[in-house]
Structure 1
Amino acid sequence: MTGNMKEKSRHCVLVFSGLDPSGGAGISADIEAIGAVGAHALPVVTALTVQDNDRVYAVNPVDAAIISRQAQVLAGKIPVSAVKVGIVGNRDNAVAIGEVISELRRKQPGLPVVLDTVLGSGHGFALADGTPEYALSPLIGMATLVTPNLPEAKRLCPLAKDTRKQAEYLMAQGAANVLIKGGHGEDADSVFNQWFGADGMKQWKWRRLPGEFHGTGCTLASAIAAYLAQGLLMEKALEKGQVWCQAALEKAFSIAKGQKIPGRQAC
């Protein structure tokens, strides 16, 4: 009987991200979100951080050679259906990740790559050595989707005065799609997320929830990457990722005073 049962399997997302010891953001958020929406995370840690649910105190990049070796061993055995990149730690790590992506795409030209352009913590602590914008710049042109929030979009595109121009700037560098997240917007009741792609622009409106959350960007980008890994087209993956992320925020919980943790395991 057992031998005739169909073996269960999941699509895998190769994840490059930092370790957040509070468990709210970074690789912990990636693993939970990807698993919750039906895929499996292959986590490669790019940096060891010192932080709690509110503040980052230090970022210690992992050696680029270790990151490369981990990814090569994983990809040599396990089929990779998508890649998700969070903080890279430094420029050397970004270059190493880019080489891994290039190697994967030699065999899978359409491999989805989601780049969450995390430049700093909510309180402004830089999440890479030197200038974070410079550190991650080698990966923008490789991205199927780039997911900056409003402050990050301004930093990445300092001369662009509105979200459309910011998206056009990133797409001119090679990014296929851009999702600009509106959580830092001024509307007290709603959050507006804007998707820009080759076929134009689409906007989603979400109810702004009370309080502040730790790891929202990681949660959303990873969910979208997991849906792309499972074969969904971009618009559908964006839609389902946002619906799921909103539900996780509605089920957020506290571990201490300050930012709440999205209820990723409760969805």
Structure 2
Amino acid sequence: MFEAQPHHKLRPCVLVFAGHDPSGGAGIQADIEAIAAQGAHALPIITALTVQDNNQVYAVYPVAAEVIRAQTRALISCMPIRAVKIGIVGNRENAEVIAQLIDQIQETSVHVGGRLPVIVDPVLGSGRGNPLAVDDASIAIAPVLERASLITPNLPELVKLAPHGLTNAQKAISLLGGVVSDVLLKGGHADEELVINRWFSSTQGQPEVQWTWPRLKEQFHGSGCTLAAAISAHLALGMTLQQSLLAAQEYTQAALFSAFRIADGQLIPQRSQVA
């Protein structure tokens, strides 16, 4: 017989908008696992059902915007939200509803240290370039980018989001103070011997911060989801943004190093390890 504990610890919640990946490698399952490993709790709102495996995306079916709205309102009516993490939105209509819901949460919540953190992983396509929205993904995601406090693009995503004819650093800086506040530019798609992740802050006078990580030879399914979700969890737990960025990168690198295989092709990060 178990005795009830007189005091149960309150676990901070991260509201997650993301698609469902039936392979379990990316999307909402990756977010739930990564957030739990940091010690926070995910509130998952599925934005789209996808047909995919650990290598290819074959189809995307957005969830009805009104279902997303109703599910989210049920949660925010009784649960304090400490951070928001956004992956694929499915279509423009869903993005607009999510943006409205974020505005509602921002108006009613009191977050320690300022506004509620909103982390956007701008998943404009799969790692192999398959589309992940029924509309043009870079246009569909625009409403949520306008609410983001941090965006975590990889290099191909940055090219689609920022003006042409600029260096990567200039592209990232062009997003600061515009539709997003801060940018973590991921270097996994570059050619350098090391992976270089670069943080561009909108805080005036704060220099660019870089982190370098060993470049692993394998390909991974859901690494971007893992990193963005871990960042959101650490922010929900009360860490500063810089602390969250470092802790999430350390966790993600360990998850990739311990990745496992479910079939031929991309590996699955071992996210169940506790950070």
> What TM-score results when the alignment is normalised by the length of structure 1?
0.96
> Out of 163, 170, 179, which is 1:174 matched to?
179
- 2:32 corresponding residue in structure 1: 31
What's the secondary structure of 1:219's corresponding residue? helix
- 1:6 corresponding residue in structure 2: 7
Q: 5+ unaligned residues in a row in structure 2: which ranges?
A: none
CA RMSD in angstroms comes to 1.4
Q: Does 1:154 align with 2:155?
A: no
- 1:49 corresponding residue in structure 2: 50
Structure 1 pair 130–33 and aligned structure 2 pair: CA distance change class (3 A): same
- 2:135 corresponding residue in structure 1: 130
Q: Does 1:238 align with 2:239?
A: no
Per-residue CA deviations over 1:198-219 (Å, capped at 9, x if unaligned) read 2231000000112100000000
| Equivalent residue letter for 1:63 | A
* Correspondence list, 1:179-218, <5 A: 179-187=184-192, 189-197=193-201, 198=203, 199-218=206-225
Query: How many angstroms apart in 1 are the aligned matches of 2:195 and 2:228?
Result: 16
Please state how far the C-alpha of 1:6 moved relative to its aligned partner: 2.3
Query: How many angstroms apart in 1 are the aligned matches of 2:184 and 2:79?
Result: 29
Please state how far the C-alpha of 1:234 moved relative to its aligned partner: 0.4
- 1:110 corresponding residue in structure 2: 115
Query: How many angstroms apart in 1 are the aligned matches of 2:178 and 2:65?
Result: 24
| Equivalent residue letter for 1:39 | A
* 8 Å Cα contact 1:133-1:156 kept in structure 2: yes
Query: How many angstroms apart in 1 are the aligned matches of 2:224 and 2:149?
Result: 17
Please state how far the C-alpha of 1:172 moved relative to its aligned partner: 3.6
* 8 Å Cα contact 1:251-1:266 kept in structure 2: no
Per-residue CA deviations over 1:77-124 (Å, capped at 9, x if unaligned) read 111100000000000000000000000000236110000000001221
Query: How many angstroms apart in 2 are the aligned matches of 1:178 and 1:256?
Result: 34
What's the secondary structure of 1:97's corresponding residue? helix
- 2:126 corresponding residue in structure 1: 121
What's the secondary structure of 2:263's corresponding residue? coil
**How many residues are matched?**
266
Q: Does 1:86 align with 2:87?
A: yes
- 1:253 corresponding residue in structure 2: 260
What's the secondary structure of 1:266's corresponding residue? coil
Query: How many angstroms apart in 2 are the aligned matches of 1:45 and 1:171?
Result: 28
Please state how far the C-alpha of 1:4 moved relative to its aligned partner: 6.7
* 8 Å Cα contact 1:51-1:58 kept in structure 2: yes
* 8 Å Cα contact 1:154-1:160 kept in structure 2: no
Please state how far the C-alpha of 1:134 moved relative to its aligned partner: 0.3
Q: 5+ unaligned residues in a row in structure 1: which ranges?
A: none
Query: How many angstroms apart in 2 are the aligned matches of 1:4 and 1:62?
Result: 39
Query: How many angstroms apart in 2 are the aligned matches of 1:152 and 1:160?
Result: 15
Query: How many angstroms apart in 1 are the aligned matches of 2:4 and 2:217?
Result: 51
Query: How many angstroms apart in 2 are the aligned matches of 1:114 and 1:225?
Result: 6
